[in-house]
Amino acid sequence: MDSAYDARIIRQECMKRGHEAIIKPVHRRRKQAAAGVDELNAEEKERFKKRTIVEQMNGRLKDEFGGRLIYVRGAAKVMTHLMFGILALTVDQLLLQRTE
């Protein structure tokens, strides 16, 4: 993500739709950083951590387990392709935990 995700208009649109944006604030000015403007509270920080974990897993699925390039057609085949990637990702994570 880049700093544009923290734009006020995006936050306002999320609020208007009844969604809660889990976006870490970007301090563009030193005064904002010193004043602690728009800091995440403890609950939001916890949800941001969970969101980060999910985004990392999505990235690994795309980059390491075939989720970026799909050469099959049809919803069932695409779903099968992605589920094999998720299965491989799960096994990889389990093996990583076992070695720690």
pLDDT digits (tens, 9 = 90+) for 14-64: 889 988 777 777 766 655 544 455 677 888 888 888 988 998 999 999 999
Residue whose C-alpha is closest to residue 22's, from 85, 78, 1, 33: 1
Task: Please answer whether residues 18 and 3 qualify as being in contact, where contact means their C-beta atoms are separated by less than 8 angstroms.
Answer: no
pLDDT score at 31: 54
pLDDT score at 6: 72
The yes-or-no verdict on residue 5 having pLDDT over 80 is no
What band does 98 get if pLDDT is binned at 50, 70 and 90? confident
Global pTM?
A: 0.63
Phi, psi of 35 (to 5 degrees): -85, -10
What is the spatial distance between Cα 9 and Cα 5, in angstroms, rounded to a whole number? 9
